[in-house]
Amino acid sequence: GAVVSQHPSRVICKSGTSVKIECRSLDFQATTMFWYRQFPKKSLMLMATSNEGSKATYEQGVEKDKFLINHASLTLSTLTVTSAHPEDSSFYICSARFHLLGQGAGGYTFGSGTRLTVV
Amino acid sequence: DAKTTQPNSMESNEEEPVHLPCNHSTISGTDYIHWYRQLPSQGPEYVIHGLTSNVNNRMASLAIAEDRKSSTLILHRATLRDAAVYYCILRPFGFGNQGGKLIFGQGTELSVKP
């Protein structure tokens, strides 16, 4: 259980265009989702937290106008990279939080990631 | 956020046990210790978590020091498919005032030799 499906797995786009990445929770309702980016040989860097029905909370240094996050339903969050440039090329990963019954600490499940290449 | 310290890399031989250490000297009483691993070009996957007692599941065991300032992830018989980056992360009970964010450190890159 607690599976998150992320699409697309790979995308190549031209500089200046926008790209949308989708993250769906398949068998649970995800009130909170997280978006990360990861550069080669580096750790995951949290970009933003999205809560269903409200505005996303961005981490310091992340441009909210460039990385648009929408969490319109309990099963879908999207990240749109607007006016993409080569420096936006990265591995983007979504994550959803779910409740572990009786354990007091929630679990996190991750999408398989999206490799974005901007040319 | 409470921080963790892990070795950058470790090597293991196939079929042998692996002990991956993690120091978290500033852990608070309500922090859970989570371990995730990330295989190349994939999202992280949950491995195990614990609070005070040692924990076992089908993937691994988690040994937590009595003072909780360190923990060790144990893979009982490493396979080639266990080659990954292993992350030790502290997460507060009830998600805390950070809204339940999972903050990743640098992790330990485990390589497994046949």
In tens, the pLDDT along A79-98 reads: 999 999 999 999 999 999 87
Instruction: Give the gap in angstroms from C-alpha A39 to the nearest C-alpha of chain B.
Output: 11
Model confidence band, residue A106 (pLDDT cutoffs 50, 70, 90): low
- Which residue pairs, CB below 8 angstroms and at least 24 apart, start in A41-48? A43/B85, A43/B87, A43/B104, A43/B105, A43/B106, A43/B107, A44/A93, A44/B38, A44/B44, A44/B104, A45/B104, A46/B101, A46/B102, A46/B103, A46/B104, A47/A79
Could you tell me if A48 and A56 are in contact, meaning their C-beta atoms sit under 8 angstroms apart? yes
Instruction: Give the gap in angstroms from C-alpha A60 to the nearest C-alpha of chain B.
Output: 14
Tens of pLDDT, residues B34-78: 999 999 999 999 999 999 999 999 899 999 999 999 999 999 999
Structure tokens at A10: 């790979």
Per the CB < 8 Å rule, is A110 touching B43?
yes
B43, B95, B107 ranked by CB distance to A112: nearest: B43
Mutate to test the interface with A, among B27, B28, B34, B41 (most CBs of A within 10 A): B41
